[in-house]
Amino acid sequence: MTRSTALVFLALLRQEARLIAQYRWWLPAMQASVVTVPLISLLVWRGAVAHGAEPPVTRDYLTTYLVLVSVVTTLTSSWTAKFLAESIRSGRLDAWLVRPCSTHLAAAANNVAEKVAKLAVLLPLVVVLAIPFHDDLDLPAHPGRWLLFAWALAMGAAMTFSLDVVVGSLAFWWQDVTAVDRFRHLATLFLSGAVVPLAVMPADWGPFLRTQPFGYVVAFPIRTLLEPDAADLRAGVAAQAAWVVLALAAARVVWVRGLRRYHGAGA
Amino acid sequence: MRVRLSEPVIKAQGLGKTYQFHRQPQGLAGAVRGLFHREATIVQAVRGLDLSVGRGEVVGLLGPNGAGKTTVVKMLCGLLVPTTGSLEVCGERPADRSHTFLSRISVIFGQKAMLWWDVSTRESLKIHRSMYGISRDDFRTTVARLGDLLGITDVLDTPVRHLSLGQRMRCELALALLHRPTLLFADEPTIGLDVQAKVTVRNLLRDINRTFGTTIVLTSHDMNDVEALTDRVVVVKAGQAAFDGNLAALRAHAGIPAEVVLTYRDTPNLPPDVSRKSTKDGPRGIRLRLGDQPVPELVHAAARWGELVDFRIVEAGLDEVMSKVFSEGGERP
């Protein structure tokens, strides 16, 4: 990122922060809903364990995972596809294409600003959620693990954002990309570990779950804090980086090819 | 690459653009058939267009709806990739959308906002300051000057969504002109404005052109805009340049004769052949097409029809001229 791009990004970030500040009740309401799903999962799993169920992971692992999952989901999520597709379909993209600034930079600024605001609201909720289960929380003390966690989060966020650009850019070809976006969200929900930890899925699915990309968006960042095996983590970091590069390349190819088909609807 | 003063700002040769889309069959049965078989249609919106615009010119790109002028403008500002021909704008290929190219142009869309809706104009201007790398001092000076020129100093800090249409258009202009573009595309810049605001916008565009030598490409259906601003008009019809010249040449091209307006003290006593050819202009006036008859002879004859108090020669209005030019043959293929 050049200095001028960084300055534009900061200006857009400030702008987004000002906009978000106008929606005072939307954020707490949204974040309360974000924390609700893992809370229900946590209560269901702990109830099942109390009644004799034997999941393939420890109770500490399960509790820590489900307390962290709302934070990770928030930080690695993206919501650009819908807006990008709409701007392509309606021709509103014109306003960005005639400026010396990428529309994706503006979307990234929106993404980062909104995540910071969401995190500020979410963290107190997570702390409240963690208090009753603090005896079963098992978080590493080594700063290196937290750095790796931050890196994995950034990579997961980059991957989701790139996939969003791919899905949104399909609007250059199709009238409606809602179905693709919905399918992608369902796949992410189920295969990322956002609802059910991948570690408790059937053992036969192991090779598939380790290979598919969605697990590197939510489950892998949490594993960087919970996984004791360094070799496993190194392999995970490499696989995640490979998926990020692939997603970025796909986003670039689809965007550039799509722009050639752009009609700029409307006068 | 810098644009040399002597070089045209816009150079287009054999420019063409083809669109392909699927026809929507009529009715429910057609819609169901369309699920299994779609008919592709190719439309040539622009064909073989040659255009050269020099630095500092104000050119009106005119044409009836669907003639292809918007497609031409979109190719010129890099929004659309031409299908055929060569195009150079500000020394660059617009479709490459290079940072240099985008920093030199500016676009005002009369029907699409460039301003951020939920914040004030000043905040939008600040973002453009970062995008175009404008120094703080330059920014302060330019904003103050544009604020005065456009009469928007008092509303610069009002959220855009609370501005009236006229105020918003003037703020859009301020945003478009902040970085002092070499080339300004003004697409219906006065649409929806009241008479006073239209005059303000026209005067401002004129000032900008004279002061900074900004080249302006104007598309408008308001012939008052065209008359007030343009030195030259290019009429696009069926995707081709049907006329390229100044307004006097366009009037001559249209071949609509001027009219004479005669005003009498009392109701005139017109000969039957004059009465047939004339139209009323107020209670005691008549309007006649100016034919081949020499003007002194006409005045002499008119004085015999009553007590003549006024005599005026009126050129055909630009609306009438454009209507004639637009209707001359050449439908879209």
ipTM metric: 0.82
Is A100–B112 a contact, with Cβ atoms under 8 angstroms apart?
A: no
Q: Which of A92, A101, A73, A77 is nearest to A15 (CA)?
A: A101
A254 domain residue, yes or no: yes
Chain A interface disruption, residue of B105, B131, B160, most A CBs within 10 A:
B131
A118 domain residue, yes or no: yes
More confident residue, B255 or A261: A261
Q: Which H or E element spans position A229?
A: none
A252 domain residue, yes or no: yes
- Tens-digit pLDDT string for chain A (267 aa): 688 889 999 999 998 988 888 777 777 887 787 788 888 888 888 888 888 888 888 888 888 998 899 899 999 999 999 999 999 999 899 999 999 999 999 999 999 999 999 898 888 888 888 888 888 888 888 899 999 999 999 999 999 999 999 999 999 999 889 999 999 999 998 999 988 889 888 888 988 998 999 999 999 999 999 987 888 899 999 999 999 999 999 999 999 999 998 987 665
Residue B4 has pLDDT above 60, yes or no: no
Reported confidence tier of residue B29, pLDDT bands at 50, 70, 90: confident
Instruction: Please name the amino acid found at residue A92.
Output: R
A267 domain residue, yes or no: no
Domain that holds residue A225: 3-261
Domain total for chain A? Answer: 1
A38 domain residue, yes or no: yes
Sign of the torsion angle spanned by Cα atoms B287, B289, B295, B297: negative
List beta partners, residue B53: B10
The answer for B 122-161 residues in CB contact with A (under 8 A) is 123, 126-133
Pick from B19, B112, B129: CB nearest A94: B112
Dump pLDDT digits (tens) for B297-312: 888 888 888 888 888 8
Reported confidence tier of residue B85, pLDDT bands at 50, 70, 90: very high
- So what's the pLDDT on residue B329? 55
More confident residue, B329 or A182: A182
Residue of A nearest to B103 (CA): A100
pTM: 0.83
Residues 6 or more apart in contact with residue A113 via CB below 8 angstroms: A13, A16, A17, A20
User: Which DSSP string corresponds to B233-293?
Assistant: EEEEETTEEEEEE-HHHHHHHHTPPPEEEEEESS-----HHHHHH-EE-STTEEEEE--SS
- So what's the pLDDT on residue A141? 87
A266 domain residue, yes or no: no
Q: Where are the alpha helices (DSSP H) in chain B?
A: 27-36, 69-76, 99-104, 121-131, 136-150, 165-177, 195-212, 223-229, 247-254, 272-277, 295-304, 318-327
Chain A CB within 8 Å of residue B80 CB: yes
Copy the structure tokens of residue A218: 């939510």
Chain A CB within 8 Å of residue B65 CB: no
Those residues of chain A whose CB sits closer than 8 Å to some CB in chain B are 4, 7-8, 10-12, 15, 18-19, 22, 91-92, 94-95, 97-101, 259-260, 262-264, 266-267
| Structure letter (DSSP) for residue B191 | T
- Mean pLDDT for the stretch of residues B267-279: 84
End-to-end CA distance of chain A: 34
A105 domain residue, yes or no: yes
Reported confidence tier of residue B150, pLDDT bands at 50, 70, 90: confident
Residues 6 or more apart in contact with residue B89 via CB below 8 angstroms: B9, B10, B11, B76, B77, B78, B101, B105, B183
